[in-house]
A and B are shown apart, each in its own frame.
Chain A
């Protein structure tokens, strides 16, 4: 179900190391060793994070025996992006309308004042 996937994706994203791994993979596929480099972390620790990401469908891993390149899978991220955008929009849209409404109110007031002066 789509709902479960979103929750799944979010809990996988709720970790700064995993977000950093995804940011790296956004540049292109790479090996586990290369992924581990910028982190002060053992290979097994990085592998554990990769497993979480793979389980959430956020990355796929090649089947070649020697180096199993990690690739970013974007579909679940799209769900999150849509969801986050919706949230931000909640406030942004209201503030847009508030702005418009305040503008309309003040124009009306000014018109009334000018009307009286004439």
Chain B
């Protein structure tokens, strides 16, 4: 995909990629993906309560959101918009955050890169929209890139599932 701004991505780094076909025209998908009133309705995972959601849709603008997990813990994200090609592409710099909008570390892995770049591409065919999400480590140190890569590789190879089966299997043999 030509023209995408990948400043800060290490040359040769491959992204995580997730693709999904949505049964809706692209213009609608774009609105639902970028407008606050819609984001409030679907952005949080099931069972989460949206606490806040502000979207300043312009290059350099901020998407700041907070949500509360069923166990009461809160999670904040501060995303900076890098590129907008309506309705084809939305590129954002993803960071973990707090209520005030500061950048924080990954809550579970201190070696996960502080910032990642998520590029969503939208294409329409026959009234359906394909969203392709490519996800890169950004301005990462060597150890952060390795951590990202290890996660990436395990995802790609389906290690997560394989390892789970393996763990179960090993439990039965031990």
Point out residues on A near B: beta carbons under 8 Å: 3, 6-7, 10-11, 13-14, 16, 19, 26, 72, 74-75, 77-78, 80-81, 83-95, 97-103, 105-106
Contact = CB atoms under 8 A, between A and B. Distances in A.
Given A7-B111, A13-B150, A102 B24 contact: yes
B13 interface: no
Interface residues of B, number: 42
Contact of A81 (B20, B42, B147, B160): B160
A111 to B, nearest CB: 16
A10 B162 CA distance: 16
Main secondary structure of the interface of A (DSSP, over half): helix
Nearest to B157: A19
A85 B160 CA distance: 6
Interface string B42-60: 1111100000000000000
B131 interface: yes
B42 A87 contact: no
14 contacts: A6-B109, A7-B147, A10-B109, A10-B150, A11-B111, A14-B150, A16-B153, A77-B166, A78-B163, A80-B150, A81-B163, A85-B164, A97-B42, A98-B42
A103 B23 contact: yes
